[in-house]
A and B are shown apart, each in its own frame.
Chain A
Amino acid sequence: METAQKTERQHPVGGSEAEAIIEVRGLTKRYGGDTVVKGIDFDVKRGEIFGLLGPNGAGKTTTMEMIEGLRRPDDGYARVAGYDTRSQLAKVKEVIGVQLQATSLFDLLTVREITRMYASFYNTPTVPIEPLLESMILGDKLNGRVKHLSGGQKQRLAIALAIVHSPQVVFLDEPTTGLDPQARRTLWDIVLRLRDEGKTIVLSTHYMDEARILADRICLMDQGKIVALDTPANLISSLASESAIEFRLPAGDHAAGADHPSAERLAERLETIDGVRRIEFRKESWVLYTDALQRSLTGLIAFAEQEGLALTDLQTRTATLEDVFIQMTGRSLREE
């Protein structure tokens, strides 16, 4: 099934010249003594899918909701289509559509009723409701109550409500969290279709595969700061090493853990293997990053033979966004 295939698109003006529909400058949010968004700057270009990728608590939701005008920035500003989110909020609301991370709808209304209700909130012309819901694969649920929808159907309804007034910019906050793989793929297709229809999409996620598949550009966030911002391909190739070799050592064997006294010595010697650029130890696995996979692998096996180490779970893979994140922050993107 050829779903969720991103078609490579040329931006109309190309590269950094493309028009910025969202402009974020020095955006800051504090809660009590904590600064949870720390003066970030970025632009979102018209017509792109802009992915905010980061672990839970990175500040993705806070950032999006400051742009949507739902939270007041303590410093800095955001502009959408030229309108300031604080002083021209009414204008901003007409051009954006949002799907909030934590939202529920009136359970006892039908899909059609709630869509019609949301459509009535806008002064601008809205799209015909039935074709809209059909395009969200809810055509057979028009008269079904919201309560009886599945998780994926609810998310698709939330997206329908976000685009009922044909907004220029759509904000999707973790739209696939908690969905099964099938429902995620369906949703990805919908998001890509919206982009192809010309909408600008700001999407947050903590799934790197989702960001890689959907986003034209990824803004990697951690602890309220932007760690990196580029296309997925550029982010990954920015890693000097392009492949990773992972393996485990049996417990009890020397250097089974990073805190083992001999671990440091082991790491030093692993680093001397041909082609190895960097070494990580995480989740009980050793990871060697290399720009010469075959030579490093041969070297590793020779080294293991020589030292009498029994390598288990040996595997190689290409570097991922996860590796980029670890390199930038020293921490894993996934939840522990």
Chain B
Amino acid sequence: MKPYIQLTLAQLRLFGRNRQVLFWTLFFPVVFIFMLGTFMGNGSGGAVEGYWIDEDGSERSAQVLAALEEQKAVLKLEQAKDREAALEELRHGTKQVLIIIPAGFGDTVEAAVTGQHSGVSDSPAGSLTVYYDQTQASKSMSALNAAAQAADEVSKAVVEYSPVVAVEPVGVQSLNLTFLDFIVPGIVAMMIMSNNLNGVAGQIASWRERGILRRMQSTPLRPSTFIAAQITARLLMNGSQALIVLLLGIFVFGAQMNGSWLLLLGFVLLGTLAFMAIGFIIAGLARTPESAGPIAGFVSFPLLFLGGIFFPVSDMPAFMQPIVKAIPITHLSTGLRQVMNVGAGIGEVWVEALVLGGWLAAAFIAASLVFKWE
């Protein structure tokens, strides 16, 4: 117990006294959030693609379709052959929106126009059902905006003031996500990955190079004690850094937090541990100490782009999807994002948690096998 406490303390002191590193590890993510969140604003990431289904087939529904057609700069829609297949594509992220004009839509609108629905003008009569991808903030926003605009147009054509046609988004109705909401969990995921993976690999390799580990090897200190202390100190340090950035993102920059804090913390810890373990593997495998840094960079750099940090994973080409689904960073960014943006509970993100947990377990076993003092 004594060596464990002393080593943990030593590592925390090293962290605390390395002001430069401390500053930059917090500064970079915050600057990223500030720049991306502020300047990208609500900017839509290109056109949104999706399907429409006209279950009504009336004159009114044709009017809606025509209005949607006018939005084709931002909303590229095709007719869906099958509702289930279209929803499936939505889930896979290849399409972002599905607009359904329900049966009876025309009649309801007619009824509203002829006054049978008067007095309740604040609740529109005909509604479009819009399925959209909640996790793709910017795209979904433009899809909903475009659909709302189409609905508006039809409304205006029908009566002057009260909307008779409205958009009914399916899922979370109050959801109003900006790019900031999208980017904060992404940046935090990136931070967790780089602090732990690159941090561990770089530090252990440098300690090995400088003979620090060899000197410890000549004492009765056990490797497991050393690793346990490293994990504890880094969990405390990197975990709180991630938390600080999350708090800044939420309370200073105004990113949404719709889910459970406990679950969010769970993902931060799980991600920290998983990437730390991978860092230990790299430190153990690197032939020479100098190669550990570049290897860590080589591993983490593509993960930055594949793992849904800056772009939604669905933007990746289809042939990349299996890779995207396999790497841990995807599950960390998705997990954080689902909890923060959508307010997902463990029931919805257990797959992400499980995959991260699997990575963690496998990586720690591998790390303990390849760990060496020199």
Residue numbers of A with Cβ under 8 A of B are: 68-70, 90, 93-94, 96, 98, 100, 102-106, 108-109, 113-114, 116-118, 120-123, 161
- 15 interchain pairs, CB-CB under 8 A: A68-B218, A93-B219, A93-B220, A100-B214, A103-B215, A104-B211, A105-B212, A105-B215, A109-B13, A113-B9, A117-B6, A117-B7, A117-B9, A120-B7, A122-B220
Neighbouring B residues of A103 by C-beta, 8 Å: 210-212, 214-215
Size of the chain B interface, CB-CB below 8 angstroms? 23
Binary contact readout B201-219 vs A (1 if CB under 8 angstroms, 0 otherwise): 0000000001110111111
A-side contacts of B3, CB under 8 Å: 117, 120-121
The 8 closest A-B pairs by CB, nearest first: A120-B6, A121-B219, A103-B211, A121-B221, A120-B2, A108-B17, A104-B210, A117-B6
User: Within 8 Å CB of A116, what residues of B?
Assistant: 6
A70:B214 contact, CB within 8 angstroms:
yes
Cα-based distance from A108 to B212 in the complex (angstroms): 13
**Nearest-Cβ distance from residue B355 to partner chain A, whole angstroms:** 36
> Is B114 interfacial (CB-CB < 8 Å)?
no
Shortest Cβ distance from B106 into chain A, in angstroms? 74
**Given the complex of chains A and B, what is the CA–CA distance between A103 and B218 in angstroms?**
12
Instruction: Tell me which residues across on chain A come within 8 A of B216, comparing CB atoms.
Output: 121
B18 within 8 A of A: yes
Across-interface contacts of A105 in B (CB, < 8 A)? 212, 215
Tell me which of B212, B220, B374 contacts A104 (CB under 8 A).
B212
The answer to the question of B14 belonging to the interface, with a C-beta cut-off of 8 Å to chain A, is yes
A117/B220 in contact, CB under 8 A: no
* Identity of the chain A residue whose Cβ is nearest the Cβ of B210 in the assembled complex: A104
Report A-chain residues with C-beta under 8 Å of the C-beta of B217: 70
Which partner residue on chain B sits nearest A171 by CB separation? B218
**Contact B220–A121 (Cβ < 8 Å):** yes
B322-374 at interface with A (beta carbon < 8 Å): 374
Report chain A residues within 8 Å CB of B212: 103-106
Known: A93-B220, A116-B6, A117-B7. A106 touches B14 (CB 8 A): yes
Is B10 in the interface zone, CB < 8 Å from A? yes
- A residues less than 8 Å from B10 (CB atoms): 106, 109, 113-114, 117
Contact digits for B240-275, partner A, Cβ 8 Å, 1 yes 0 no: 000000000000000000000000000000000000
In the complex, B5 has a CB within 8 A of chain A? yes
Residues in B with CB closer than 8 Å to A90 are 220
* Distance (whole angstroms) from the CB of A263 to the closest CB of chain B: 47
Give per-residue flags for B8-39: 1 if the beta carbon is below 8 A from chain A beta carbons, else 0: 01100110011000000000000000000000
Give Cα distance in the complex from A116 to B7, angstroms: 10
**Contact call B211/A100, Cβ cutoff below 8 A:** yes
Contact A100/B218 with A117-B6, A117-B10 known, Cβ cut-off 8 Å:
yes
- Chain B residue with the shortest CB-CB distance to A96: B218
What residues of chain B lie closer than 8 Å to A117, measured between beta carbons? Answer: 3, 6-7, 9-10
Inter-chain contact B6/A108, CB cutoff 8 Å: no
Shortest beta-carbon distance, B62 to chain A, in Å? 73
Interface centre among B2, B13, B211, B218 (most CB of A within 10 A): B218
Is A70 in contact with B218, judged by CB distance below 8 angstroms?
yes
Contacts of B218 in A (CB 8 A): 68-70, 93, 96, 98, 100
Chain B's closest residue to A114 (CB) is: B10
Bound state CA distance, A68 and B210, in angstroms?
19
Q: Decide if A123 touches B211 in the complex (CB within 8 Å).
A: no
CB distance from B218 to the nearest CB of A (A): 5
Among residues of B, the one whose C-beta sits closest to the C-beta of A116 is B6
B220 touching A94, Cβ below 8 Å: yes
| A118 to B220 CA separation, bound complex (whole angstroms) | 10
Complex CA–CA separation, A69 to B220 (angstroms): 11
Bound Cα distance A103, B209 (Å) = 9
Q: How far does the Cβ of B136 sit from chain A's closest Cβ, in whole Å? A: 44
- For residue B78, give the distance in angstroms from its CB to the closest CB of chain A: 61
Chain B residues in 8 Å Cβ range of A106: 10, 14, 212
CB distance from A170 to the nearest CB of B (A): 12
Q: Which residues of A contact B17 (CB under 8 A)?
A: 108
**A316, B198: Cα distance in complex, Å:** 62
Query: In whole Å, how far is A89's beta carbon from the nearest beta carbon of chain B?
Result: 9
Q: How far is the CB of B34 from chain A (nearest CB, A)?
A: 30
**Residues in B whose Cβ lies below 8 Å from that of A96:** 218
With contacts A103-B214, A104-B211 taken as known, whether A122 is within 8 angstroms of B6 at the C-beta atoms is no
Asked if A108 contacts B18 (CB within 8 A), the reply is yes
**A118–B14 CA distance with the chains assembled, in angstroms:** 16
Given the complex, which residues of A lie within 8 Å of B5, measured CB to CB? 120
- Chain B nearest Cβ from A157, distance in angstroms: 12
Complex: A103 Cα to B220 Cα, angstroms: 18
Contact check, A108 vs B221: say whether CB atoms are below 8 A apart.
no
Known: A108-B13, A109-B10, A114-B10. 9 other contacts (CB 8 A): A70-B217, A93-B218, A100-B215, A103-B214, A113-B13, A117-B10, A120-B3, A121-B220, A123-B220
Cα separation A109 to B216 with both chains bound (whole Å) = 15
Q: Chain B residues near A109 (CB, 8 Å)?
A: 10, 13-14
The residue of chain B having its C-beta at the shortest distance from the C-beta of A122 within the complex is B220
Give the distance in Å from the alpha carbon of A106 to the alpha carbon of B211 in the complex.
11
B contact residues around A121 at 8 Å (CB) = 3, 216, 219-221
